[in-house]
Amino acid sequence: MRVYKYLELKWALEAINEHRFKISEFADMNDPFELKGVALSEPSYHESFIRVANNMGALCLSKEWSNPLLWSHYAAKHKGLCLGFDIDPAVVEFLELSYVDSVAVCRVDVLNKLIATRRRPEAQPPDARNEAEELVKRLLGTKFKKWEYENEA
């Protein structure tokens, strides 16, 4: 899969020279509603999730190189660079993003099942971990519709 990273010239040259990218931290992303496209039915769980996620980050990539809005927003108003990479999806997992018009609320039942049996993993329902993983992917990968133009990978 070919993916692209738009950067200011200074940061693009640094990435090339050092063979690495800066990971974008969720708390510093330009979308003030990042991680809020889906809400958990238990608000304290969602607040905890956001606290944990804000200590993590993401490598934000696009599936296209010719979007003038992306050049403007991320490549120093068309003065930067757009670096392209061929990445094997069998080797690197890409989070499939979904774009929504309004916030969906997800029940926390699956999380409660894991919490209730955390000291006895053998007692956990067989699919509970997979369901919890899918829920976390949904929380991380849901953005509002207006951001769909970024065509993220």
Domain boundaries along the sequence of the chain? 2-150
82: which strand partners? Answer: 6
According to the model, what pLDDT value does residue 65 have? 96
pLDDT per position as a tens digit, 105-146? 998 888 887 777 777 777 777 777 788 888 889 999 999 999
Which range has the top average pLDDT, 47-56, 73-82, 103-112? 73-82
Question: What value does the mean pLDDT take over residues 74-95?
Answer: 94
Label residue 37 by pLDDT band (50, 70, 90): very high
The residue assigned the tokens 């490549």 is 75
Question: What value does the mean pLDDT take over residues 27-43?
Answer: 90
pTM (2 d.p.): 0.82
According to the model, what pLDDT value does residue 109 have? 84
Question: What value does the mean pLDDT take over residues 7-35?
Answer: 92
According to the model, what pLDDT value does residue 91 have? 94
According to the model, what pLDDT value does residue 14 have? 96
According to the model, what pLDDT value does residue 141 have? 92
